[in-house]
Amino acid sequence: MAQLWQNAVMFTHHEPMALNRTPPVTTEHQLPGLIRLFVAGGLATAGLLAFAIDLPVAEWFRDHRLPKELNRYLNFAEVFGHGIGVAMIMLGAFVLDGSLRFPSLTWPAIRWPTYQPTAQKRHAARMLG
């Protein structure tokens, strides 16, 4: 029995591994941060350059009359551009902050536990997500 116990201890006993606590030589973990920094700097530079040509372009459009359909297209592009910009800001906020959630139709059931929605309300909430 002692021999069996000694064999079991021998098979289960392992030497502790030596931990290498030296920092890595490569800086691969810093690359994503540098790429983001360069992208942000490039976008900021592009924004400043856009300010430089904004007024001359606006004056050119004021002085040269465009065809009616092209003018209408540009006006719609401005309106939809603002809407898409708002949607991108909201999407960015939802992606960056995981605690934000879309509103749900089932919130009264959470706030007031005695509230019991009807079958139609439950199905409508399920269809909306």
Residue 74 maps to a domain: yes
Owning domain of residue 63? 52-103
Residue 14 maps to a domain: no
Q: From CA 76, how far away is CA 129, in angstroms rounded?
A: 31
- The mean pLDDT value of the chain amounts to 73
Q: How far is CA 10 from CA 5, 13, 16, in A?
A: 9, 5, 14
The count of domains in the chain is 1
pLDDT tens digits for range 114-125: 556 666 666 555
* pLDDT in the model for residue 119: 66
Mean pLDDT of 93-108: 66
Residue 76 maps to a domain: yes
Say what the pTM is: 0.36
Residue 62 maps to a domain: yes
Tell me whether residue 74 is exposed, middle or buried, using C-beta atoms within 10 angstroms of its C-beta: 0 to 12, 13 to 18, 19 or more: exposed
Q: How confident is the model at residue 42 (pLDDT cuts 50, 70, 90)?
A: very high
Token couple for 39? 């992208």
